[in-house]
Structure 1
Amino acid sequence: MHSGQWRLLNGEFLEALPAAAANPRGNATARALSQAQWLIRRKSDGRFLALREGDTVRELQRGALTPSHRVDLAALAEADQATASPRELSGLIDRLHALGLDEADYAERTGLDLVAEPTRLSFAGWDRYARPLWLDDGASRAWRRMRDAARADGIALDAISGYRSHDYQLGIFRRKLARGQTVEQILSVNAAPGFSEHHGGRAMDIGTPGEPPAEESFEATPAFAWLREQANAFGFVMSYPHDNPHGIVYEPWHWRWTAGDR
């Protein structure tokens, strides 16, 4: 599969990504990846569980795939053949309640909406850390066009991050709760799982070489000035300006592709 056709398949418990997009650790892993099309990983912790080539699935460790995982594998195969669609939110809501979070109350307090994960995302290039960047199909195309237009104007834009799963955000909460923080303390810094724009694959954090990631100092760079003038032409808007109605701190680095909302 050519990198221009790479996609991330997103299930309830598992993700499938092109084996060629993985960063192997050791020669044995590299050889195994070279013999498969898909790498299957667990969403909750990113652990690699299996390799898939066609209908053949090979566990990387015996017993790595549970019965629920195998049901999810079938859903991933269907997602590969169907048009991308939003995933159900019911499982997320159950997990929010387990953390002591009421989604309706949080939505009312913040004005934020629950954001469903897509069943499939497109490869949008590599981020600053040489990781695959996954975005909604339209957002991926728009990002590439915007990055190339900036380069033509002598401006270097790089991606800090794109799509993040509900599990990723839930993991942040669990780790902080385990360290003794309260839910309210965590919410003062992190959006509740399910309420981050990154979940939908249309939001990304943007930086420029030499500038630290996700810092307010980004607003003083030529890259930010270019985005203020040009990003809207590519469908991107800054989600959290000063004094935004959601009470989220000013984030000059966070931009969302809005053309798909129209």
Structure 2
Amino acid sequence: MRLPPTPLTTSLRNTPEIELWPAGLLRARGNAHARLLARAHRVLRRKRDGAYLAAELPDGLRALVPNLHREPGMAAARRALADSPAHRRNGLEHVGALPLHRLHERLDALGLDADAYAARTGLILTPEPEWLAFAGFDRWRRPLWLRIDAARAWLRLRDAALADGLVLEAISGYRSHDYQLGIFERKLARGLQVEDILAVNAAPGFSEHHSGLALDIGAPDEAPAEASFERTPAFAWLGERAGDHGFAMSYPRDNPHGIVYEPWHWRFSPT
């Protein structure tokens, strides 16, 4: 029987096009997938749309899509499979960064110029980490991925709040550049304009969520990612105690980046 995943000891390996997920944290998509996932160690998952590409089994890699060898990013994913865990160097944990892969292609699709956007907002290009740590589950029981130092800090923050009688819920953590682009595409399909979306969501490549250091925090029975969060005891506690654990609110009212007030968005700053 497979043991349940353990926070901080379970990781997601990241490559520009493909993520290497622990099989035990993925939901089966049909009976065939369920049988494979039960035997698999890791699953190669396409970042663009979440499709399962291949399962790493004891006897080798099993393709889950036709023409797996033609899948963009497979060479990097195979290297990651071969040299994992790459985060252990000289006995110490190390988190490298991926190249800013296809960033201009994503921004061109939105009609945005990276340099002009950076100058206008003061936001900086944010690469994705090479690997992320499992930090438990979010409100919807989805795996929460954060950089290892942020994951440790989040768990300490959550436990400190609980000791004071307050429940903090993670709403979301790490997001890839492709995921951020998907947010824009879905909102554009609903008829919103790019400028309207930029008031709420940073452009792909510029979100703090890409770093694995930021997460959105909520409270039970409170709507996620709403300004009303500021009226909760959880928010008041964060205002007093989050700094003790290295977290700060990124987008207060009238922030210089042009992002709407986000009392739910907090970023860990490594010392």
In the superposition, the TM-score normalised over structure 1's length comes to 0.92
1:19 aligns with 2:23: yes
Out of 76, 81, 84, the position equivalent to 2:86 is 81
Distance 1:143 1:24 in 2: 28
Tell me, which stretches of 5 or more residues in structure 1 are unaligned?
Answer: none
Q: What's the RMSD between the two structures over aligned residues?
A: 1.9
Distance 1:164 1:255 in 2: 14
- Range with greater deviation from structure 2 (175-184 or 213-222): 175-184
In the superposition, the TM-score normalised over structure 2's length comes to 0.89
Aligned to 1:31: 35
DSSP 3-state at the match of 2:34: helix
Q: How does 1:88-237 map to 2 (within 5 A)?
A: 88-178=99-189, 181-237=192-248
1:3 aligns with 2:14: no
Q: Is the alpha carbon distance of 1:214 and 1:176 closer, same or farther for their aligned partners in structure 2, counting shifts above 3 Å?
A: closer
Q: CA deviation at 1:179?
A: 5.4
Distance 2:181 2:84 in 1: 24
Q: CA deviation at 1:25?
A: 3.5
Distance 1:135 1:239 in 2: 17
Distance 1:53 1:190 in 2: 38
Aligned to 2:257: 246
Distance 1:181 1:235 in 2: 35
User: Aligned AA for 2:219?
Assistant: T
Tell me, which stretches of 5 or more residues in structure 2 are unaligned?
Answer: 88-93
Structure with bigger helix share is 1
Q: CA deviation at 1:102?
A: 0.8
Q: Deviations over 1:119-143 (max 9, x none)?
A: 1000000000000000000000000
Aligned residues: 260
